Structure 1
Amino acid sequence: MINIKALRDQRAAKATEARNLLDTNTTTYTAAIGVQVDAIYEEIDRIDEQIVRAERQAKIDGDAAADEGNQERQQQALNVLSPDERAKAVAYNAAFRNFLVRGERGLTNDEITLLVAGRPQNAQSGQQSNGAAGGYLVPTGWGGELLEALKAFGGMRSVATVVQTAGGNSLPWPTVDETGQEGELVAENQPASAQDASFGTIDIGAFKFSSKIFTIPFELLQDQGPGIDIEAFIRRAAATRIARVQNRYYTVGTGTNQPRGIVTAAVAGKVGVAGQTATVLTDDLVDLEHSVDPAYRAMPGVGWMFHDNTLRVLKKMKDSQNRPLWMPGYTTKEPDTFNGYKYTINQQMPTMAANAKSILFGDMSQYMIRDVMAVTLFRFDDSTYTSRGQVGFLAWARGDGDLMSAGQPVAYYQNSAS
């Protein structure tokens, strides 16, 4: 088995070697040194590819252990309930597992009553399942794990501010832009003047996202036993699909009958001159960076966002002394940087093309993602699926996203039209 730690140590050694060459040749960065640094970066790219493959295999090998951890966290969620609530929640969870494996026809009347009534913890909020249509609210721990799994996919959740709510009512979120406000110098015995901040609100709602119907063969449902956690299997399948579609809308959604993505909400920071349909200049990136107010540039969430294809272009860019703008981090805790700032790879970002808003810069944490905890799962075992020896499942989740700031914390670089 490939030793991931050994690969990371190799990468760190190469990063240190490159940094030493750059730091000790600040005034005499010759073409020969540039060739050395470029060769080291190519080696780092090769090691990175090995690490990605090794981590992917380790994730596959570790799914069982991860599922055990999920079960432990679900148990912890039950422990905070009162004895009566815990007993009801345990009964609900058991009924839900039977629903997954056997379907409605395999449930007792008591189990159906439990599932139709909805999760015990939601009784006061009036949330009920949609049993008449074949769908039920997932258990609290189950839904929490699904939403937790969403973080592993896409780029937006790794930088945005994520809030979770029990219901899906529209939330009016207050906004204020203080970047243009300042105090005053007051003479002795003179009163202070007033300058109220300009407040606004942005409504963040709850759009419906589906996993689309995915199927599971009869054999997997029938062969329940040690090492087979059907709940975890279904949860991962649903999370993967929902996460990907949400990341797309949270990135490029128009804001009309769908979330407003961060690209749509951002302001123009720099537009490339004619001929830059698939390129960007170093000066463009400097202009983009300085189009964002210094108050936002000083925030912990500041950084770049772009597609991996764009990173491939940016890695080849040099400053006026021919020094590379991309710098590898020494360790996994210290991220790679571009022009001094961390960056996020988001495969839903537009690639560089005519008029594409291909690069973002700013405080990405000003973007808010709102998750509604009430996730509904449907099971289909009609002739469409049984004739193929399968059972269908469909998950519904609700959420929204928007740039929740009255200022301009994020700007984009737009490639030229021609």
Structure 2
Amino acid sequence: MNDLFWLILVLFFVAAALRSELFFYLLYVVVGLQLLARFWLRRGARQLSWRRSLPPAAFPGEPTTVEIELRNTGLLPVPWLTLTESIPPALRNPSTVREVLSLGANERRVLSYVVAGQRRGYYRIGPLTLATGDVLGLDERTLARPENDALTIYPATLPLAELGLPAALPYGTLATNQRLFSDPARPVGVRPYQAADGVRRIDWKTTAHAGSPQVRRYQPAIALETLIALAFSRGEYGGRFAYDTMERALVAAASLAAHLAARRQPVGLCTSGRDPAIGAAALNVPVGHGRAHLMTIMGTLGRLEMAAEGDLPATLGAAAAHLGWGSTVIVITGQRGPELLAKLLPLQRRGLSLALILAEPTPADLGLPREYGITTYGLWRDGRPSAW
């Protein structure tokens, strides 16, 4: 643009000095082209819109398609457009998408690329930058928006045996001789019909075969809620490999949640970690059941970041306030010793069943909680089986 300015200035002085119609004509043409280019560019930039669309979360290694929609809503074409999209290196290599294209009047274009994350986390995609200019190359304009879209990669889940935990955990629905209610998923036979039985419980096939009304019998059960409490602050884990230990603890929490959800057991989550999506401590996930609820837990664990400081027992006290008698609290932490035990015993006195999973424990660390009737397991990075 500076070169064009000096060209206009030179043409003006030459035309004025020589009083030449040719140079005045050239001056008018150059000034007109400049004004037209500016008008075209300004109108084109105003009538250009774009948006990015992608799923909010994905599993590790799952290919995820990101689409960018570009739309020219005006009557003037956009002669050229350069699109630059920044992507976290953990999702794609190379970490930048760059495209050059043109848009006609009222034209819509959709560009797409694929990302895949191998490690769980909360990844911000963007910003997206557009550069455009006039057809003569006289002026350029860069368009950018500060908005970023986020993609959460869920944590991996492992069989409990690979984590060194027993496959038969004392959590969830437990058989009992006290008939609080019957579980329709656990049939144990039939019996003669009684006046207190509902019509829905009648087994019509068995009734027709026996010649008298028969009702289905189910195994009595107590539906116990399970709350998983995950310590995820630097002060709650020690040693040289604290980061690896914390990640394994998180995988253990995700695997336990998936295990309980697969058994159709209600499960919740509380943690002392930080959620970057809200820029604060992670919110508690109340106890619930179903696949959608499990995905909420997985999303929280996928986004979780290490907090500088945290107090899991304090967080757990508020999260467990609404748990019923006999519910289970699974505490996964790197803390140990009498101080931790003193903060957990009040929950046991309230009638809650405690299970403690300690990261990299010593035999003494495992023995002390067991003296107070707390089921305790060890979680090692090498996946060795815990002594239970």
Q: TM-score band (shorter)?
A: under 0.3
Point out the structure with the larger helix share: 1
- TM-score, normalising length: structure 2: 0.21
**RCO comparison, higher one (Cα < 8 Å, 6+):** 1
Point out the structure with the larger strand share: 2
Structure (1 or 2) with the larger CA radius of gyration: 2
